[in-house]
């Protein structure tokens, strides 16, 4: 990732550059296409915005909204490893807004974690990033996807109805379950892990005697063995965490039920009321986002020829510099390269 200047709009942006040679991406083509498709269809205050996509030489460059500030994990560490319950509720509600919007658009994230939550230093706003593992709710069947500390039991082959499930190797990576799991419940689980981490300062399923042993962590997840919370964590907070981390997904709290929990009413009543208003409008917002998707694609294709000196950062790692007002000859080659790459990768 690089930070750069958008000279046309006069703002700072974030660049994600991916190399491509002879139409073959260095990362999963399926993942690239999915991330672009999903990100371009979403517009929400708590979801990072994809601004543009263009080619520069053999690289595909994604231009993202720049969130200037730390991620939630860095912020947690800056707080001494733990947050107050009111502060944790403040960020949980913002995350709830972003995830609720995703689900309203028939999408799931599947990799919710503090590192994928950026906090704007000026506004204290949480912005959700990284949609590489996101999918449509009705097509989320692959097991073993995500980050181990935040994986729900059903992602490890545990049958949501109370038994050990059987998984098989999936051609796209990971395991594929015989039955589709509820990806919405998977996101709620990850949010529960994040809440635990914010108020306790440790991971709920990490073995304190083997903190670096992923196998021990995953076994604890499958068995539902949660580490005891610190004594100073309120009973209401502990109750919410336990309900969000219920081993059986059909008994886990839903996003809507989460808003009715007493802990949120105590720690963020104003935010809870506003969040409920936002949730009632999710259907209308989803329709708006779908209309915006086609507009974005047309805009991206039309602006592909724009010359951007920020693309040079991918090659030389230099600071952005002012560009001449007139377009250079290379802008035409960038446009040609973009169209050729888009055609070969069939991204749109």
Residues that are catalytic: 111
The Cα angle at residue 294 between residues 32 and 54, in degrees rounded to 5: 45
CA distance 261 to 241: 11
CA distance 64 to 197: 28
Which residues, listed in sequence order, are joined to residue 108 by a DSSP beta bridge? 135
CB 83 within 8 A of CB 76: yes
Q: Residue 166: how many CB atoms within 10 A of its CB?
A: 10
The four Cα atoms 182, 248, 91, 261 give a dihedral, to 10 degrees, of 110
CA distance 47 to 101: 9
CB 81 within 8 A of CB 69: no
CA distance 293 to 307: 23
Sign for the pseudo-dihedral over CA of 340, 342, 346, 348: negative
Write down the H helix ranges in the chain: 29-40, 72-78, 85-104, 183-200, 214-223, 235-244, 255-259, 262-267, 269-280, 282-302, 312-316, 330-345
What distance lies between CA 73 and its chain's CA centroid?
A: 14
Residue 120 half-sphere exposure toward CB, CA atoms < 13 A? 15
SS3 158: strand
SS3 107: strand
Which residues, listed in sequence order, are joined to residue 21 by a DSSP beta bridge? 24
CB 53 within 8 A of CB 63: yes
């Amino acid at each position: 990732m690089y930070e750069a200047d958008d000279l046309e709009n006069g703002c700072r942006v974030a660049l994600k550059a991916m190399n491509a040679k002879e139409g073959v991406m260095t990362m999963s083509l399926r993942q690239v296409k999915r991330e672009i498709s999903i990100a371009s269809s979403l517009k929400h205050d708590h979801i990072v915005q994809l601004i543009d996509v263009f080619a520069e030489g053999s690289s595909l460059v994604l231009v993202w909204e720049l969130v200037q500030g730390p991620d939630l994990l860095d912020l947690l560490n800056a707080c001494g490893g733990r947050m107050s319950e009111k502060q944790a509720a403040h960020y949980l509600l913002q995350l709830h807004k972003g995830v609720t919007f995703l689900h309203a658009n028939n999408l799931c994230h599947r990799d919710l974690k503090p590192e994928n939550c950026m906090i704007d230093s000026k506004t204290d706003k949480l912005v959700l990033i990284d949609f590489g593992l996101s999918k449509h709710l009705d097509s989320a069947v692959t097991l073993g996807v995500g980050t181990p500390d935040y994986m729900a039991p059903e992602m490890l082959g545990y049958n949501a109805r109370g038994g050990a499930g059987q998984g098989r190797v999936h051609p796209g990576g990971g395991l594929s379950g015989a039955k589709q799991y509820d990806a919405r419940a998977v996101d709620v689980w990850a949010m529960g892990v994040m809440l635990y981490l914010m108020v306790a300062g440790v991971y709920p399923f990490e073995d304190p005697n083997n903190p670096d042993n992923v196998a021990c962590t995953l076994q604890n997840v499958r068995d539902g063995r949660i580490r005891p919370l610190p004594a100073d964590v309120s009973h209401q907070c502990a109750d919410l965490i336990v309900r969000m981390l219920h081993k059986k997904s059909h008994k886990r709290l839903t996003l809507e039920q989460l808003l009715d929990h007493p802990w949120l009413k105590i720690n963020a009543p104003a935010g809870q009321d506003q969040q409920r208003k936002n949730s009632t409008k999710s259907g209308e917002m989803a329709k708006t986002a779908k209309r915006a998707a086609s507009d974005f694609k047309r805009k991206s294709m039309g602006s592909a020829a724009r010359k951007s000196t920020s693309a040079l950062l991918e090659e030389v790692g230099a600071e952005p510099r002012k560009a001449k007002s007139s377009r250079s000859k290379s802008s035409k080659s960038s446009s040609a390269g973009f169209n050729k790459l888009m055609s070969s990768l069939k991204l749109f």
